[in-house]
């Protein structure tokens, strides 16, 4: 019997974009796309400083899928390595899930590698894991569970 697909995927939570300079990128998104900063924080464990943005007509209602700008805090962080190799651009697609441990276990059953055995803390302190881009058609997929 083939393994079941990952269940409990609720929505696209955010689209993550790697940038070298957070302030400059936020200004660009504000000026070009009428973006509004919803949230900004540092995550030392992930080595990033991030800004979550609403764009365009979604700004007033704050609906829709936010854009997450991610800048490196350290030269050896995942974002710094991504920028070195690929330059600025889309780095990840995040799916909000009901249960990140269950979704990760289901992914492993599908022979999709997860980057962590146990979830770590992401934006807002929510639980996160990642699916390896080489097992997902070249896309780094984040699984994120609201806490």
Site string for ligand MC0, 47-66 (x = CB under 6 A): -x-x----------------
Question: Which residue in this structure is represented by tokens 């464990």?
Answer: 45
Only segment of 24-32, 54-62, 90-98, 99-107 that touches ligand MC0 (CB under 6 A): 90-98
- Report the nearest approach of ligand MC0 to the CB of residue 134 (Å): 6
CA–chain centroid gap for 130, Å, is: 9
**Binding of ligand MC0 by 140 (CB under 6 A):** yes
Cβ nearer to ligand MC0, comparing 91 with 106: 91
Burial class (CB in 10 A: 0-12, 13-18, 19+), 36: middle
- By CB under 6 A, the residues from 8 to 27 that bind ligand MC0 are 16
- Looking only at the bridges linking them, the beta strands covering 127-131 and 89-97 are unpaired
| C-alpha span between 6 and 103 (Å, rounded) | 6
């Amino acid at each position: 019997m083939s393994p079941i697909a990952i269940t409990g995927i609720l929505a696209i939570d955010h689209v993550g974009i790697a940038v070298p300079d957070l302030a400059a990128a936020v200004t660009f998104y504000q000026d070009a796309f009428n973006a509004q900063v919803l949230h900004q924080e540092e995550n030392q464990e992930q080595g990033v400083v991030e800004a979550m943005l609403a764009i365009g007509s979604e700004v007033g209602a704050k609906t829709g899928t936010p854009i997450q700008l991610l800048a490196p805090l350290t030269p050896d962080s995942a974002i710094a390595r991504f920028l070195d190799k690929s330059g600025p651009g889309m780095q990840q697609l995040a799916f909000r899930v009901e249960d990140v441990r269950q979704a990760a276990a289901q992914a492993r059953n599908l022979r999709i590698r997860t980057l962590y055995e146990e979830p770590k803390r992401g934006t807002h302190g929510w639980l996160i894991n990642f699916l390896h881009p080489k097992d997902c058609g070249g896309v780094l997929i984040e699984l994120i569970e609201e806490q």
